[in-house]
Structure 1
């Protein structure tokens, strides 16, 4: 034992578990009257935000919810989603956010796998959730949320009440002075997010209090979030807990501006009227902004930081965003890394480069977040780093405190993901001489469309259920609006016929609409001598469409 270990142990005075919950507590005490949430005409101060989170925690505790229980939410970007990010873990429970674009079967799988005890549902999504509950084996307490700011032009019509309780009534009965609980250990689970895989059912990614807290500090740094920043919710909060921004904003006592639906006019109105300083989103959000009709656009004096973590935007889009008053920051990460874990740290001298060279620099995924301890490109077989030559392909790997705990109830997948002490992303890339990484391909054939992950195998499984389909392959096709869209190559059985519309409609009966192919090409599907479909050939064909 060294002299620095003698009588210098951990105790309650010098060691507390890291958790993002304390950020909101501090904000409410220091700036109680500062506006924390803007939702339509509703304004919520930090004091009220904190009290509502406590009321939710109290109500959950009264209903027997505690450590390790799963509370599932099917909510749009609204105040209850923010409240759930605090109220649920305040009783040591785990928050599970459902993707609002999922179909009933996918929802039912997640409810069962997560062993959901409480389910909070926005009435906009009550129809699909009711269908899912009919398929599910769990019987959670269902709570309806009836949004007072809901408008009839929302993506889905408001459905019937399906719950035993109403959200506002639930909170009204809760205690605003509830004695909430710190996690027993910062390694305890705080949230559960499901990620699309290449086979069958998705995997449940588990986050810890520690990782979430550290991610908040990293977001504050890399998104350059000053005190009282104003954040517009264009990124769905169900996406990796909104990249941890529901917790991050409290660090700088920022304001959340809620948005149920990403449309040009409400975005411009929020930016101009609320003084928005930051937002995140996929390329489709940028396209929506710069391609908006003139009548929907608004002038604003501030420069708005736009964080995007999908495919690198084309130079024309970046120029258009700059002209419109946005500074684009290119990030990269996965659900397994709490959202973005790398940032394309832009260097001033690169501004002087000619257009082609500048675009090449901007296409890179960059360097590690401050909260990530390791980022590299390796040969996954030898676990040796590839040469930093910008050419040698390898697998992008992560190591650090903002890597997930693992996959829920899936030790095999967890062990495979963490083989040899690194998280294997499944993404193929190169390392440049200056230490910046760049993605080149996705080894798992995931298609990223509008920021959503689409498993090509899931789409292919749907196609194979059509009686006329003999073989098929699905790949991503570049799309200016969505980033990528699925294109299906279909070989029909002898003597059978089918139309493109028929194939697409068939898929819509089996999987979510956004996963369905936008284009169907009929003909012989290229295969190897063993009958394996050659995806690389299909990708080449898709590039020429």
Structure 2
């Protein structure tokens, strides 16, 4: 860090400590538009010399204090305005977890443009669709992903991820600084309308080309602002915290953790890719206290050869798919505290959490892990979470939502409403109306409600296995199969059965430590796993078929693509 010097234009003026946006005219005294950009400006004011961004694992490492980072974000805002972007225009960003991506999530708010962060693992055709559909006016792109926009006519700014003055992205920021004429933050006007859009997110993988608008405010109170505060609070993040970026920032705006971190004054470490040895280097040597990851990423972390009990407390937020109790227990055993949260891109990321109870302390690790694996209760800043039936009065009439009994058995759909629910599907009023039928947002996740008011997801509606008239939850089956000591990861889907209609089929990745035992003996392993399942599962839920695979198809955020597994089964 001592050898790195930010570009001259990244250094804030010594005589200007005005870290406030210009207030719009005629604002009532008792009203301040709640904008998560305020968190960065507040951090730069209070802890200006504290390390904000560390990007060490590249050929030219960079390190930015809060004061310097705030100046760079300001430069970006002015550069966007100089490039002709106006409030409401869309800015596309295609990059991994690098400083440019972190800048963009703040700078777009400062320039009052709508950020479209694009998944780096999409095909050029999918990227072209998003650029066209969003109407992007400018693209900020990391050098490694230029192949995704070949032939585009949209203006492009390339980052070589160096932080050096000759880097095109750095030159773009420097142009912004000169364009500002040192007006500073007061030269940028705060967005007065909290309903103004902030993010345009395109969901990945399993649901196709859906698109939705996340806003600073989804009704009368700001969604991004509240979601960020909730995430920081749920993990007890503070100025002593160090957050490791494993979750892609392009995925649902990093579950709003870009702003949770600035709210809590943390230090953020960015990495270009998910590299398990490198992750463990940081967990053991960089004082990391928090990170987020989908279950499949957490599996990779706890089973990496470098894994061992870290010297400091680490809290891991788990979401993106339902974790197994076995995985939760594995994290605890290695000294990582799991924070199981549940949410969707449509809800700014997490909106529920499995809240630990005092009574759990007397339970075994296995019993406690099963309780933590539930999706739990709503965040303090989230709205109501219900598990319901939809009783339609008529195909086009009003929809009545009927709560399922709190018996832990009766299945319904998780629905929610409130300030951390998306505003709308972009340019698709019919899809928006359908999603909000009954006055709540329907998640598509099937769940039960327990007597204590906590919810537990059993499956996606499309993943339920109907066998002999019985509903079998693929997630519940996966929970039990994952407890087999030789199973590293498992996914279960329905396969056609002549007698029962459907039966479960399990695709299994063997644990590396035990894979050699079953070489050439896959049929014997299948029998052993089915025997293991029969100890806890009813007959209709036990897998009829087991296939050992080297890997499972996944989205860039770690969700298993059951659509791809269904294609495999269709050919059997």
* TM-score class normalised by the smaller sequence: 0.7 to 0.9
Deviations 1:156-175 (A, max 9, x none): xxxxxxxxx92111001112
**Residue aligning to 1:91:** 111
Distance 1:341 1:189 in 2: 20
Q: Write out the 4+ residue segments of structure 1 that deviate beyond 4 Å after TM superposition.
A: 196-200, 444-449, 475-482, 512-516, 518-525
**Residue aligning to 1:283:** 295
Displacement after TM superposition at 1:374 (Å): 0.7
Deviations 1:291-341 (A, max 9, x none): 112xx3466321100000134433443333223221011110000000010
**Residue aligning to 2:189:** 181
Deviations 1:451-479 (A, max 9, x none): xxx9x9xxxxxxxxxxxxxxxx9x99565
Contact 1:398 1:423 in 2 (8 A): yes
Residue from 26, 29, 33 that aligns with 2:45: 29
Displacement after TM superposition at 1:361 (Å): 1.3
**Residue aligning to 1:400:** 418
Measured at CA, do residues 445 and 101 of structure 1 come closer, stay the same or move farther in structure 2, by a change above 3 Å?
A: farther
Displacement after TM superposition at 1:259 (Å): 1.1
**Residue aligning to 1:335:** 345
Distance 2:461 2:168 in 1: 45
Residue from 77, 101, 113 that aligns with 1:81: 101
Name the SS of the counterpart of 2:430 in structure 1.
Answer: helix
Could you list the runs of 5+ residues in structure 1 that have no partner in the other structure?
A: 1-9, 134-138, 151-164, 457-472, 483-499, 526-545
Contact 2:447 2:458 in 1 (8 A): yes
Residue from 108, 120, 129 that aligns with 1:109: 129
Name the SS of the counterpart of 1:167 in structure 2.
Answer: helix
Contact 1:74 1:120 in 2 (8 A): yes
Displacement after TM superposition at 1:203 (Å): 2.3
Deviations 1:86-115 (A, max 9, x none): 111211100110011111111111111100
Residues 1:202 and 2:220 aligned together: no
Measured at CA, do residues 42 and 374 of structure 1 come closer, stay the same or move farther in structure 2, by a change above 3 Å?
A: same
Deviations 1:335-372 (A, max 9, x none): 00000100000113113224554343122100001111
Measured at CA, do residues 398 and 72 of structure 1 come closer, stay the same or move farther in structure 2, by a change above 3 Å?
A: same
Distance 1:113 1:130 in 2: 17
Name the SS of the counterpart of 2:410 in structure 1.
Answer: coil
Distance 2:569 2:252 in 1: 37
**Residue aligning to 1:155:** none
Residues 1:436 and 2:471 aligned together: no
Residues 1:373 and 2:375 aligned together: no
Contact 1:344 1:365 in 2 (8 A): yes
Distance 1:287 1:269 in 2: 17
**Structure 2-normalised TM-score?**
0.72
**Residue aligning to 2:157:** 143
Contact 1:73 1:98 in 2 (8 A): yes
Displacement after TM superposition at 1:522 (Å): 6.1
- Cα root mean square deviation, aligned: 3.3
**Residue aligning to 2:239:** 227
- Point out the more displaced range, 343-352 or 198-207: 198-207
Distance 1:432 1:324 in 2: 30
Distance 1:121 1:273 in 2: 31
Distance 1:442 1:67 in 2: 38
Residue from 255, 264, 267 that aligns with 1:252: 264
Q: How many residues align?
A: 448
Distance 1:479 1:208 in 2: 42
Map 1:293-312 to 2 at 5 A.
293=305, 296-297=306-307, 300-312=310-322
**Residue aligning to 2:440:** 422
Distance 1:141 1:398 in 2: 39
Distance 1:105 1:343 in 2: 37
Name the SS of the counterpart of 1:238 in structure 2.
Answer: coil
Displacement after TM superposition at 1:11 (Å): 4.1
Deviations 1:516-538 (A, max 9, x none): 8368656688xxxxxxxxxxxxx
